[in-house]
Amino acid sequence: MTSEAAVQWLGIGEVAERTGLSVHALRFYEREGLLVGPVRRTSGGRRRYTSPDVEWLQICVRLRESGMPLADLKRFAELVRHGPGNEAERLRLLDAHRRRVDAQIQALEECRSVIAWKADVYAEHLARDGARGLWDPTA
């Protein structure tokens, strides 16, 4: 077991820097129950985080950046807090989110394809030194 003295404690500013979250967002995550453990505090009331807290927050950041709904992230955190025995439900949440992300990626690839096609059309016309033949709604 790790002794209390051997744990590297991090302040909220350090955690904000490591995770890319603002101090305000870290407090929000705590209020919303998105952390897997309680945030410890100094005798003066300052928050103290550990490396596992930072690792968890980095996962949360990626899940939120990829569009995971807050309710799903809360449920996922709750399941993790409860410990072993609910891995199948955790997997269902992650699989559902992965399917949403895959759909978003496919939609973005289709958008990129249209953009690339249109950019090629403009590049071709500009290389021929003219815009004749391009769609012009004012004509």
pLDDT for 7-63, tens place per residue? 789 999 999 999 999 999 999 999 999 999 899 999 999 999 999 999 999 999 999
Model confidence, pTM:
0.80
The pLDDT score that the predictor gives to residue 5 is: 61
Euclidean distance between CA atoms 139 and 132, whole angstroms: 11
> What pLDDT is stored for residue 121 in this prediction?
87
